[in-house]
Structure 1
Amino acid sequence: MYKMMLFAVMLLGTSAVQAGDGTVIDEVLAGYQAEGVGSFSAEHGKEMWIAKHEGPLGLDGNPSGEAFKIRRDDEPRSRSCQTCHGTDLSLPGKHWRTGKLINPMSPKAKPVEVDEDDGPRFSDKAKIEKWFLRNCKWTVGRECTGQEKGDLLSFLRNQ
């Protein structure tokens, strides 16, 4: 039993170190590179992070009348990543509607234990993709491209 617990602690410690040293981010970025995107720009990622978007966009990149019909009255008309995550990425964010705390986006910041399964930021490739899908659709009104996700990750990893 003791050996099994020791192994589990070592395994968990390894995944935390892996997240802290950016290995998972490197793997995700390599996946985007394999899709044929260009080189990543942390500066462009920062511009995307602070950019304001006016409601959902249609497939043509223009605001969709249909999408605006389903917009909630209390939903922000203009939104950015900062709407929920804030401007200081070392601090927790707050969901605009529910008020639920969101762990800091900085990989260097300590999680605030929002959920039991929260680990170090950017330590799980599936979670990275899940949150990009959900947040890009809400913020930009579409899925982000591999280039956009790579630029954002390049920006966030250095915060």
Structure 2
Amino acid sequence: MTQLHTLALALMAACATASGHAADTTAAEQLAHWSAQAGRPGNAELGKAFFTARHGGEWSCASCHGTPPTGQGKHASTGKAIAPLAPGFNPKAFTDTAKVDKWFRRNCKDVLERECTAVEKADVLAYLNALKP
């Protein structure tokens, strides 16, 4: 019975871990990654300008995430709540590489009608990482 109990606990722990947040990276590691891809450090001032600009379209990043993106945002068309984007206000922000890639791809296409460049990602991450409580 003890072995069965231990096995059951181990399975429950594995299921809880599998369904939880991946947390395979940090916002700082994401910034370092995109800065390396860009060939230069991210620039927070350029990131702020990029984040708030409409880029010729209807939306900016700030349209859904707010200015500054330190509180709960709201999707511009669906109204769905969005957790704070700045890592200083949301410890889960930018901690799952697959989600970071997915949301950069989707959101950049919504705002720019194309994927963001490594420079743009590095600059936005530098801006977001600079926001502190």
Task: Return the alpha-carbon distance in structure 2 between the equivalents of residues 99 and 109 of structure 1.
Answer: 21
Deviation string for 1:76-108 (max 9, x for gaps)?
A: xx3211111111322111111111001111213
Q: TM-score, normalised on structure 2?
A: 0.74
State the partner residue of 2:129.
157
Within 5 A, what are the aligned runs for 1:15-94? 15=23, 24-35=26-37, 37-55=39-57, 78-94=58-74
Q: C-alpha deviations, 1:87-137, integer Å up to 9, x for none?
A: 132211111111100111121325xxxxxxxx8111111111111110011
**How does the TM-score come out when normalised to structure 1?**
0.63
- After TM superposition, list the pairs within 5 Å mapping 1:116-155 onto structure 2: 120-155=92-127
Aligned residue for 1:97?
77
Unpaired segments of 5 or more residues in structure 2? Answer: 1-5
| Aligned structure 1 segments of 4 or more residues deviating by more than 6 angstroms | 5-9
What one-letter code is carried by the residue in structure 2 that aligns with 1:151? D
SS at match of 1:35: helix
CA RMSD of aligned residues (A): 2.6
Runs of 5+ in structure 1 lacking a partner?
56-77, 111-118
